[in-house]
Amino acid sequence: MVLIGPGGVGKGTLAQRLIDADEQLWLSQSWTTRTRRDTEDGNEYHFVDRPTFERAVADEKFLEWAEFNENLYGTPVPDAPVGRDVLLEIEVQGAEQVRQKVSDTVVFLIMPPSLEELEERLRARGDHEEHVKFRLSSTPRELARGRELASYEVVNDDLGTATGEILSILEELRQRRRDPSKKD
């Protein structure tokens, strides 16, 4: 299960809510070469330098990885316990790789209620001004690519509502997995 969507849309918080609400989900911790933000406590990623990341790529430690905003991000090959559903919160190039490698991948595109709201959220999390501008300029492209890839679109206006919507889709998908005759 993959969450994609423009920066600042609230994917991280949403992923955390899903994990708290659904014990069958297993959240992957990504690696990144970007520096930690002041608002982060250090558990958001496994923060590494570029040579360490590149060694892990060479050692085939990643299910997918991508360069985004001049930083590298990657999902380690998941080692989730049997029976758990893996949840990834990644950008669109990575989601494309996962979809190619894992046949039952389901991609959710998380949408902002509006571009104005997105801008406010990016500023609120402490991103530099030029970064905010850059992220906003790439949003339409990210959304267009995301739409091609995603099976579901969920607007993250209210966190609780968006979480509930994803959980009910997930439950439906699990039912179909248990009983494929329910496929439409």
Q: Where are the alpha helices (DSSP H) in the chain?
A: 11-21, 50-58, 92-101, 115-124, 129-149, 159-178
Rounded to a whole number of angstroms, the minimum distance from the CB of residue 114 to ligand 5GP is 19
Give yes or no for a contact between 142 and 93, defined as CB atoms under 8 angstroms apart.
no
Q: Closest-CB residue for ligand 5GP?
A: 94
CB of 184 to ligand 5GP, least distance (A): 30
CA distance 146 to 109: 6
60 vs 179, which CB is nearer to ligand 5GP?
A: 60
52 vs 175 by CB, closer to ligand 5GP: 52
Between 56 and 90, name the residue whose CB sits nearer to ligand 5GP. Answer: 90
Q: What residues contact 29, with CB distance under 8 A and at least 6 apart?
A: 43, 45, 46, 76
Using CB under 6 A, list all residues that contact ligand 5GP: 7, 11, 30, 34, 64, 66, 68, 73-75, 89-91, 93-94
> Is residue 180 exposed (0-12), middle (13-18) or buried (19+ Cβ within 10 Å)?
exposed
Q: Between 22 and 89, whose beta carbon lies closer to ligand 5GP?
A: 89
| Shortest spacing between CB 154 and ligand 5GP, in angstroms | 15
**Cβ 82 to ligand 5GP shortest distance, Å:** 23
